[in-house]
Amino acid sequence: MKAKEKKYWGNLLDRSTINNTIVTNILKTEFGQITAENSMTWEATEPSKGIFSFSLADPIVNFAKSNGKLLRGHALVWHAQLPAWMTVINNRTILTNAVETHITTVMSRWKGDIYAWDVCNEILNEDGTLRNSPFSKYIGENFVSIAFTAARKADPNAKLYINDYNLDSVSSAKVLSIVNLVKNWRLAGVSIDGIGSSTHLSAGLGAGVQAALTYLATAGVEVAITELDIANAGPTDYSNVVKACLAVSQCVGITSWGVRDSDSFAFNNGLMYDANGNKKPAYDAALAALS
């Protein structure tokens, strides 16, 4: 990827895989960036209000640093994996303070170590409207500005992303909406540097990714494929996705959402390695597309 002037091809590491030598050896030799799948979420890092725990994430950060890998942080503001204490807050001021404190504390922990953060994750419905969450319900759309402002202050050098899934079709309402929203937020001074497209694909949909990435980049930001898996891991689909990122200058890299099929949350045989860590035809297709 670096030979093609991209920053990385990355992959996951988390509590369930960090002690698996098959996974870690593949990460060391084949991938240039690490993302913690669940160990940096709100539930994992602030399980009780004001009481932070980094015992799950620190080993992942240390692995990446000791092996010369870039790091992406995932995810700061997300409707999922919230601790119980967060779900009962129904006051705008209290929730705003919680968001600011959480982002400041978590990002400060690894300031300078994490290249990019998914600041706001999966905040849109399929029709492009804001998802109903504690953040949108009690703060309103301004929670986005609050989150990104806190993130920029916590680590001025980190790339700050809005990340979402189903951004794979250029004609979808969600894609059109996120571009318009990011443009408007940036005009209002919100420090958004990138749009992450999760790219959890059904079989046969790889061909649409280039057009979607091209349109996402019209928001004036960099773009990245952040959680790649493709049902059944078709070689043509993998080739198309790689070529899509290569063709869009603003696409900085690809992150696979798991090393082996057995590590995938999707259980769709959508990754480049089988359960034993053997390379599948998708790997060969991706490598060929990079050649």
Task: From residue 238, give the alpha-carbon distance in Å to each of 61, 83, 241, 263.
Answer: 28, 36, 5, 18
Q: Cα–Cα distance between 156 and 160 in angstroms, integer?
A: 9
- Per the CB < 8 A criterion, the answer to whether 196 and 230 are in contact is no
pLDDT reported for residue 277? 98
For residue 135, pLDDT over 90 is answered with yes
Neighbouring CB atoms inside 10 A of 6's CB total: 19
Return all residues near 121 (Cβ < 8 A) that are at least 6 apart: 74, 75, 76, 77, 78, 162, 163, 164
In the set 37, 46, 222, 227, the catalytic residue is 227
Q: Cα–Cα distance between 37 and 30 in angstroms, integer?
A: 18
pLDDT cut 90: percent of the chain above it:
98
In the set 37, 46, 122, 222, the catalytic residue is 122
For residue 3, pLDDT over 90 is answered with no
Q: What's the mean pLDDT when you consider all of the chain?
A: 97
Tokens 């082996």 identify what position? 260
Q: Cα–Cα distance between 165 and 103 in angstroms, integer?
A: 22
Mean pLDDT, rounded, for 197-212: 97
For residue 232, pLDDT over 90 is answered with yes
Q: Cα–Cα distance between 41 and 47 in angstroms, integer?
A: 10
Q: Residue 72's closest CA among 158, 139, 148?
A: 158
pLDDT tens for each residue of 86-98: 999 999 999 999 9
Our answer to whether residue 100 is catalytic in this structure is: no
- Per the CB < 8 A criterion, the answer to whether 263 and 236 are in contact is no
Q: How many CA atoms, within 13 angstroms, populate the side-chain half-sphere of residue 232?
A: 8
Confidence class for position 275, pLDDT limits 50, 70, 90: very high
Q: How long is the chain? A: 291
Mean pLDDT, rounded, for 265-286: 97
pLDDT tens for each residue of 162-175: 999 999 999 999 99
pLDDT cut 70: percent of the chain above it:
100
Our answer to whether residue 227 is catalytic in this structure is: yes
Q: Cα–Cα distance between 151 and 119 in angstroms, integer?
A: 7
Q: Cα–Cα distance between 27 and 37 in angstroms, integer?
A: 14
Neighbouring CB atoms inside 10 A of 131's CB total: 14
For residue 2, pLDDT over 90 is answered with no
Q: What does pTM read for this prediction?
A: 0.98
For residue 208, pLDDT over 90 is answered with yes
Mean pLDDT, rounded, for 250-255: 98
Confidence class for position 156, pLDDT limits 50, 70, 90: very high
Which two tokens mark 288?
């060929």
